[in-house]
Amino acid sequence: MTDTHCHLDALEDPDAADPTLAAIVSVGTDGESCRKTLLLAEQHENVWAVLGVHPNSADEATPVVRAEIERLAEHPKVVGIGETGFDDYWSKPLAPQREAFFWHASLARRLQKPLVLHVRDKQGHETASVMARDAILEAGHPQGILHCFNAHKGLLQAGLDLGWYVSFAGNLTYKSAHNLHAAAKGVPEERLLVETDSPYLSPEPKRGRRNVPANVRYTAAFLAELRGVTLGALEPTLDTNARTVYGLPG
């Protein structure tokens, strides 16, 4: 089993890098976080790093920070760039997020690594989703992941058209997530991924507790049930997809 997106540097548990998982992809969100994330990847054989500046911190993506991330991203344990994207939830300016997105996209293209996209809309709106859809089409990078997918149909179609993968997190297991359930049933099997986004979004039955990478199994099991297959049948596909998109060893 592979957790394709978490934040190990935000977890204090020394066992968070669960050795029973085939792979854990930990994501840095700013300069300091990226340094810590890469160190964790060096310390654990099954941990890999994705480096970037979270859209909520887009105004901190200074030339100095960008230069450091560009340098760190050359490391062999770095398998992706991001998470970048558009977040309207906190009413932060979207123009700096768009500018930072295209820097991330350029770096991902230069390094030939997947781009990890974060999208979060203000409740009742879809501004961030529409901007994200248009931005990924404009960038045209053929390697990417719709991280913690939010069920926006236009964004999904754009991602699939580009050849991107679609990752579902613990919120897929919530009873009220009907749009996510429908989306998860329809994504082609060869594009499916699962993640925890630890320490956030704990799945049922761990909801309300701090999330950890091991909980990816609950989301995978729920996804399998949604799609009418066994976890044993789906898990090899999920692991193959993770290895393919991130270029992980077999």
- Residue 239: partners with Cβ closer than 8 Å, 6 or more residues away: 1, 2, 22, 23
Q: What proportion of the chain, given as a percentage, has pLDDT over 70?
A: 100
- In the sheet with 2-6, reading across from the earlier edge strand, the strands are 2-6, 23-27, 47-51, 78-87, 115-120, 144-146, 165-168, 192-194
pLDDT of residue 159 exceeding 90 = yes
Cis peptide before 55 (omega within 30 of 0): no
Topology at the third CATH level for domain 2-246: TIM Barrel (3.20.20)
pLDDT of 89 = 94
Q: Is the pLDDT of residue 215 over 80?
A: yes
What's the pLDDT tens digit per position in 114-127? Answer: 999 999 999 889 99
**Average pLDDT taken over every residue of the chain:** 97
- pLDDT band of residue 156 (cuts 50, 70, 90) is very high
User: Does pLDDT of 12 surpass 90?
Assistant: no
Domain ranges of the chain: 2-246
Rounded to 5°, the CA angle 221-222-228 comes to 90
